[in-house]
Amino acid sequence: MISRLSLGLALAGVLATAPGAQTPASRYAFEGGFPTAETAEASQHDTDLARAETAYRFFYPTVSMEATFVGTRAAGALDNSGAMILAGRPRHLLFTGNSDTPYLGGVVDLTSTGPFVVDLPAGPYLGIINDHNFGWVADVGLPGPDAGKGGKHLVLPPGYEGDVPDGYYVSRSPTNLILLGARAIPPDGDMQAGIDLLRQLKAYPLSQAANPPAYELVDRTDDKVDVTPLAWEDNISFWRHLSDVIQSETVIDEFRPMYGMLAMLGIEKGKPFEPDARMTEILEAAAQIGRDQMLVAGFASSRPDRFVWDDRKWEYATLVPGNGAFELPTGIDLEARDRWFSQAVGMSPKMVLRVEGAGSLYWLGLRDKAGAYLDGGKTYRLAIPQPVPAGLFWSVTVYDAGARSQIQTDQDKAALRSLVELRDAPTTGATELYFGPEAPAGREDEWIKTTPGKGWFVYLRLYGPTGPAFDGGWRPGDFEVVE
C-alpha cells in the first residue's frame, strides 16, 4: 500500500500560482546573482500562496470531517454515547447524501473511551468507520467482515498496546476522533422500518462491555441539518478549524511534510494560530482558489477515463476503482482524490469497486446529450431502460451544484427511487424521468423540480449491480432537452 507520506509529498509538489500570474521568468529579477527586493517580496508571496493552495487541497477532507463532527454535535448527538439518525431529505445539507436509506452518524473520541465496540445484529446494514481525515478504518455490516450476519467490531485508539480480547473484528484508528456511519436498507422501501433497524445498533467502550449503556439516537429527519464545510471552505474559517484539528489530533508521521508546509503558514501544533493581515489575505485567496480547483476536478475533468461508456455523457463519480485511498500502481491519483471530496464524503474500498454484486455503483450525470451542463431553467427527459441491472434497488438523486447536496425547492423532493416513487413502474421498455422547473403534464410522479439560474447534477445509483451494468449490455440514456 502506498503510504500517506507518498500522498503528502506528491501534493507538496503541486505548486500553483494565482490565476493570471506572470511566469517566474518575467516576474523575478536578479542583480549580480542576487534577487532584488521586489523579487524577494514577490517570490515569498507566490511561495506562500502555492503552499496554502496545496495544503488546502490536502487537508480539505480533514476539515470536511471536522464539519461532520460539528454538525452532528449541533444536531444533539453526544460524542461516544449517541448518534444522529435521519431519513435523508433536501433539508439536510450533506455532500451527495441520498434518500435511499436512512443514515446514522456518531462521533467517538477514543482518547476518552479507549477501545470502542460497534455491535451489529444480523441484517441489511451498510456501515463504515472513518478517521478524522476521512481515511478508511473499517467496514461494518454487509460490506464488512461480518457480511451482514452480525458481529462485534472493535476500534483501537492510536498507539494502543493493551490486550485485545477474542471475538471481535479488530481495526485501529490513526486519529483520536472517528466517525461511525451506518445505513440500513429499508424493508420494502419503508424508511421508518429502516430507522427502526438502525436503533438496534449498539456502540459502547470496551470497558463497559459487561453492561453496555444505551446508545442514544437523535432523529433529525424533520429538522434542518448541516454537516458540510460550506460556510468555511472559501474563507479564513477553513484555516481556523484546521488549526483546531492540528492542535487536538495525533501527529501522523506520513503527514510530516504537510505539517511543515502548514507551519510556514502559521499553523503548528502547540502554537496559537494568529495570522497577520498579509497572511490572512493569502490564506483566504488560497481557500477560494483551492476550492475552485477541486470543483474543476469534480465537474470539468478532461480525463477520458471518467466516462462510463464511449457513447454517453455519464461519468464515474470515483476515478480509481478497487481501493479507498486513490492509489495507482506508482502513486496517488490526486485528481481522483480532489474530485471525490469536492462532492462527497465517506470512503471505503468497497465504495469504489466495479465488481458484479459488490455494494453499489455510482454514476455522475452533469451534462446533457449535447455536452452542456444541466440547467435548472430547462426541462430534461432521462430514459432508464428496464429492467435495471440492480439486484437490490436503484435511484436517481438530484443535487444542487453549489451546495453539492440534495436540491431544495418547494417540491421538497430530490430523488426518484425504485423502492418508493417508482416501485410500480413497468419492468420492460424504458422508464422516462423528467427534470425541470415545471412538471410535464401527466408526469408529476416521475418529475423532480429544478430552479432556474442554478446548475444541478445527479447520481444514478445501482445497489447490488449485476453483469450488464459492467459489460455495456445496459446503458441509461443521456439527458435530453424537452422543448
Strands (E), 28-150: 30-31, 34-35, 82-86, 92-93, 103-109, 116-120, 125-131, 136-141
Residue 317 has pLDDT above 60, yes or no: yes
pLDDT at 357: 64
Residue 15 has pLDDT above 70, yes or no: no
Averaged confidence pLDDT in the chain? 92
pLDDT at 134: 95
Backbone angles phi and psi of 103, in degrees to 5: -110, 155
Strand partners, 93: 226
Question: What gap in Å lies between CA 106 and CA 187, rounded to an integer?
Answer: 23
Residue 185 has pLDDT above 60, yes or no: yes
Residue 12 has pLDDT above 50, yes or no: no
- 346, 134 contact by CB (below 8 A): yes
Query: Checking DSSP bridges between strand 30-31 and strand 34-35, what pairing results, if any?
Result: antiparallel
Average pLDDT over residues 273-283: 98
Residue 1 has pLDDT above 60, yes or no: no
Instruction: Report pTM.
Output: 0.93
Average pLDDT over residues 384-403: 96
Average pLDDT over residues 44-73: 97
Average pLDDT over residues 2-12: 41
pLDDT at 27: 80
Residue 358 has pLDDT above 70, yes or no: no
pLDDT at 76: 97
Residue 191 has pLDDT above 70, yes or no: yes
**How many Cβ atoms sit within 10 Å of the Cβ of residue 158?**
16
Segment 421-467, tens digit of pLDDT? 999 999 899 999 999 999 999 999 999 999 999 999 999 999 889 99
pLDDT band at 293 (very low <50, low <70, confident <90, very high): very high
pLDDT at 70: 98
Q: Which residue has the higher pLDDT, 339 or 26?
A: 339
Closest CA to 60 of 332, 290, 296: 290
Segment 120-158, tens digit of pLDDT? 999 999 999 999 999 999 999 998 999 999 999 999 999
Maximum mean pLDDT: which of 115-119, 324-328, 352-356? 115-119
The full set of domains in the chain, from first to last, is 4-68+230-298 (1.10.3360.10), 76-222 (2.60.40.1610), 301-481 (2.60.120.600)
Q: Cα Rg for the chain, rounded, in angstroms?
A: 23
For residue 191, count CB atoms less than 10 angstroms from its CB and return exposed for 0-12, middle for 13-18, buried for 19 or more: buried
For residue 420, count CB atoms less than 10 angstroms from its CB and return exposed for 0-12, middle for 13-18, buried for 19 or more: middle
- 345, 62 contact by CB (below 8 A): no
Half-sphere exposure of 305 (CA within 13 A, CB side): 7
